[in-house]
Amino acid sequence: MATIQFKYNLIKESSFKFRLGELLSKNEKINTPNCILYTKNGGLVPHLIKKLEDNLLTRAKEPNLGVLIHLEDYFDKKYYKETLKSGLGEAINSKSPLLLVDLNDNKLIKNADEDLNTNNTGVSLSAHQGKLRVGADEYNEIINNWKPDIVIPLHDLLCSTTKIPSEKRANKSVRRNINWLNELLESDLKGSNLLGVLGGSIYYAERKRASEMLKEHQKHIKGYLISSLHGTPSQKGEQISQSLESLTPEYRDKPNFCFEMNTPEELLEGIVRGVDVFDSSYATQVANYGNALNLEFQPHGTFLQPIVSLNPEETDFSEDVETINEKCQCYTCKSKFSKAYIVHLLNTSEMLSTVLLTCHNLHNYIRFLSQIRESIKNGKFESDLKNFKKHYKNFNWHVYKKSPFMAAKQGTFS
């Protein structure tokens, strides 16, 4: 597998760990902190066709965002066993400068031990034909065929919304991760752009162990994936700090990826701790439940209501002819689709409802991250963060979970 040029430049770092950087891949630049696109079947953002996705990125002034692909979406498709001449990116017609492949979509996991059934032989995934098992050799073979720009090794993910794993279980996870990394380094993928997995759940000793065990492989590692987080946003942030602080200073100038911190509160907590790249799944989640985002990190006036529910079972915008946000430059708002029209679409279960909401929400989410970068650049991040937290101190960023209307009709990630 040929190595694609990949580089991370650290532009500005504060004593509080938050930083500005840029990812360079295929002669394109992605400014960080930022998100990569959360995609499902076909490598597209849920609900969007390619033309709309390209239009969205252009309007958001971020044409070069990376793409996150999950193996479980393709495992029983023709791509699985085929040797693709130019990789999966060309097969799905992705022009993204940064294609990442991970095994499982952690957004769909309620209990990792039950859902993934991981042991030393491999990890289970949910394919269209049911539960299938993937071992290290098979995973490495698939990745070698698919040729992603960044390789995430097979790893034991301890992701759960219902149960915190024991310390013994966390120890097994950390040791499996390093064993599977060793197997990968013995394969044809040795020269690839690898992410070292920093797991360990809530246990400092295990997070430190994960960092220590990666040190001998630093020459092969181009960045880190911080995983297996549990608890509140601040608790997850502390676990991120434990992982990164266990790395010696010479290893900290590499990009840090985390796909388990997605709400605005979690996003900011991750940025403060040094995370560079998140995924965009939150924008899709909110849209799926009939809600619109209005995030602002540096408001020019008063803070807006950050999540507006257009769900007809919760609020009444049925006669509101205004757009979601008159200042927004997204396709939905610039095309003058009113709140009343979107409510009508939701009420009749029209797919266009989630298309329009996804266009708006993802645009807003991307621009929110752009505002954060601008704040860091101008040296105002700490004061802006303080104001943001003060204003939204008691806000429930998981409000979409109270709106089962869209989930029941369209599926959380359809």
pLDDT tens digits for range 80-126:
556 666 788 888 888 888 999 998 888 776 655 566 678 899 988 87
Q: How confident is the model at residue 412 (pLDDT cuts 50, 70, 90)?
A: very low
Where do the domains of the chain lie, and which CATH numbers do they carry?
6-32+66-279 (3.20.20.105), 286-410 (no CATH)
Cα separation of 268 and 265, whole Å?
Answer: 5
390 or 1: which leads in pLDDT: 390
Q: What is the pLDDT of residues 64-83, one digit of tens each?
A: 899 999 988 887 665 555 66
Among 30, 304, 49, which Cα is nearest to 20's?
A: 30
Tokens 């394969």 map to which residue? Answer: 187
Among 172, 174, 170, which Cα is nearest to 153's?
A: 174
Whether the pLDDT of residue 407 is over 50: the answer is: no
pLDDT of residue 314: 74
Q: How confident is the model at residue 335 (pLDDT cuts 50, 70, 90)?
A: very high
Whether the pLDDT of residue 403 is over 70: the answer is: no
What's the mean pLDDT in 299-317?
Answer: 80
Assign 3-class secondary structure to 282-351: HHHHHHHCCEEECCCCCCCCCCCCCEEECCCCCCCCCCCCCCCCCCCCCHHHHCCCCHHHHHHHHHCCCC
Among 196, 194, 95, 122, which Cα is nearest to 87's?
A: 95
Please indicate if the annotation marks 330 as binding a ligand.
Answer: yes
54-63, 266-275, 296-305, 370-379, range with the lowest pLDDT: 296-305
Mean pLDDT of the chain: 86
Q: Kindly compute the dihedral angle of the four CA atoms of residues 205, 227, 34, 306, in this order, to the nearest 10 degrees.
A: -100
**Which residues does 70 contact at the CB level (< 8 Å), separation at least 6?**
40, 101, 102, 103, 104, 105
- Coil, helix or strand for 224? strand
Cα dist. 74→36, 42, 346, 356 in Å?
19, 9, 30, 26
- Coil, helix or strand for 35? strand
pLDDT of residue 410: 40
Share of the chain above pLDDT 70, in %: 88
Share of the chain above pLDDT 90, in %: 55
pLDDT of residue 408: 40
Residue 114: count other Cβ atoms within 10 Å of its Cβ.
12
Q: What is the pLDDT of residues 192-207, one digit of tens each?
A: 889 999 999 999 999 9
Q: pTM (2 decimals)?
A: 0.92
Q: What is the pLDDT of residues 343-355, one digit of tens each?
A: 999 999 999 999 9
Q: What is the pLDDT of residues 20-35, one digit of tens each?
A: 999 998 888 999 999 9
Q: What is the pLDDT of residues 137-193, one digit of tens each?
A: 999 988 888 889 999 999 998 876 678 889 999 999 999 999 999 999 988 776 688
Please indicate if the annotation marks 359 as binding a ligand.
Answer: no
Cα separation of 182 and 235, whole Å?
Answer: 30
What's the mean pLDDT in 23-48?
Answer: 91
